[in-house]
Chain A
Amino acid sequence: MKVGLCAYSAFKIYPGHGKTLVRTDGKVFTFLNGKCERSHLMKRNPRKVTWTVYYRRKHKKGLEEEQQKRRTRRTHKFQRAIVGASLSEIQAKRNMKPEVRKAQRDQAIRAAKEQKKATKAVKKAATAPKSAPKVEKAKQKIQKPQQKAAPRVGGKR
């Protein structure tokens, strides 16, 4: 059979016990005994009445304390793909060894230096013959943007 709970004390009500009250607004209360019923009708707040379960829960009486302490929230870290890079790309970058990374960096530095040298040489060539014809200048000028557009080696700086 169904074992109900007292509306006032929250004790179990076994079959054969208890009394129900239907209030004017339609709310139904089941009481374990006359003590609970009277307390309710006297408008005593069960959270202030020491022997009820509600009081004990509110003031944390009993063994529930230990159980509550054990539970701790842990945030989980998630690895997600971003718009610019898929999950595998991110993982590859993360798992790259430091030697490899260093080699990439050196390569990038070398490439950048070479670029600079090239641009400097082009500039010198452009500025040295000032009396040179305009066509040559135009050609040289055209060359500059092409050389600048050298592909980058390595990842982000």
Chain B
Amino acid sequence: MSALKQGIASPLRLFTKTSPLMPLVIRNFHASSCLCRLQLLSRVRCVDNSAIGKQAMAEGKPPKIIHVYNKKRRATIGDKVLMTVKGEMKKGIIVGVKEHQKHGIPRSDTNNVVLIDDNGTPLGTRINAPIPMILRGIMKEKTIAKGADYTKILSIASRFV
């Protein structure tokens, strides 16, 4: 039986990734998850009821990320982000991501953002979309580290998931 298997396997070896004969045929491909993350020039959906955010979404020109406050410059849930909204530069915190998440963290159909100012106070008064519970922990950590209070977002959230 093992001899048979080896016999069958040998012709297929010609077509593996490592084989010199067919280097371009890839049997196993792997989509790297960091490519699905939010980065420079990603368009993002504003989810609070701030005036600028509403106008931008209504016009069809959603905020565009121009900087991610992160070592890797790739943003996920809880990362602070600099965006252009209607010609102005505003900071925001990412609140929902389309990327496949780890266990326990919900995935949303759109990349959601809540606009804040430098101190962490949100520009809007209410968040319409459900927010992941994990943000509680993340925002607490960030608050201690930077001195600005980022947990104010959680107080305007209407629903947690």
Contacts and interface: CB of A to CB of B under 8 A. Distances in A.
Partners in one complex: yes
Interface of A: 16, 19-24, 26, 28
A116 to B, nearest CB: 87
B108 A21 contact: yes
Contact of B106 (A16, A20, A24): A20
A26 to B, nearest CB: 6
A22 B107 contact: yes
B109 interface: yes
Contacts, number: 31
A24 B110 contact: yes
Given A16-B103, A28-B130, A23 B159 contact: no
Contact of A20 (B107, B128, B129, B159): B107
Interface string B83-127: 000000000000010000001001111100000000000000000
B58 interface: no
Contacts of A21: 106-109
Contacts of A26: 128-130, 159
B103 A22 contact: no
Contacts of B159: 26
Contacts of B96: 22
Contacts of B128: 26
Interface residues of B, number: 12
A22 B107 CA distance: 6
A24 B130 CA distance: 9
A127 B96 CA distance: 110
A4 B130 CA distance: 18
Interface in B128-147: 128-130
A24 B103 contact: no
14 contacts: A19-B103, A19-B107, A21-B106, A22-B96, A22-B107, A22-B108, A22-B109, A22-B130, A22-B161, A24-B108, A24-B110, A24-B129, A26-B128, A26-B129
Contacts of B103: 16, 19
Nearest to B131: A22
A16 B102 CA distance: 11
Nearest to B96: A22
A24 B161 contact: no
Nearest to B106: A20
The residue among A22, A26, A28 with the most chain B CB atoms within 10 A of its own CB is A22
Given A21-B107, A22-B106, A28-B106, 20 more contacts: A19-B103, A19-B107, A20-B107, A20-B161, A21-B106, A21-B108, A22-B96, A22-B107, A22-B108, A22-B109, A22-B161, A23-B109, A24-B109, A24-B110, A24-B129, A26-B129, A26-B130, A26-B159, A28-B130, A28-B161
Contacts of A16: 103
A62 B31 CA distance: 42
A71 B83 CA distance: 63
Contacts of B106: 20-22, 28
Nearest to A16: B103
A23 B112 CA distance: 11
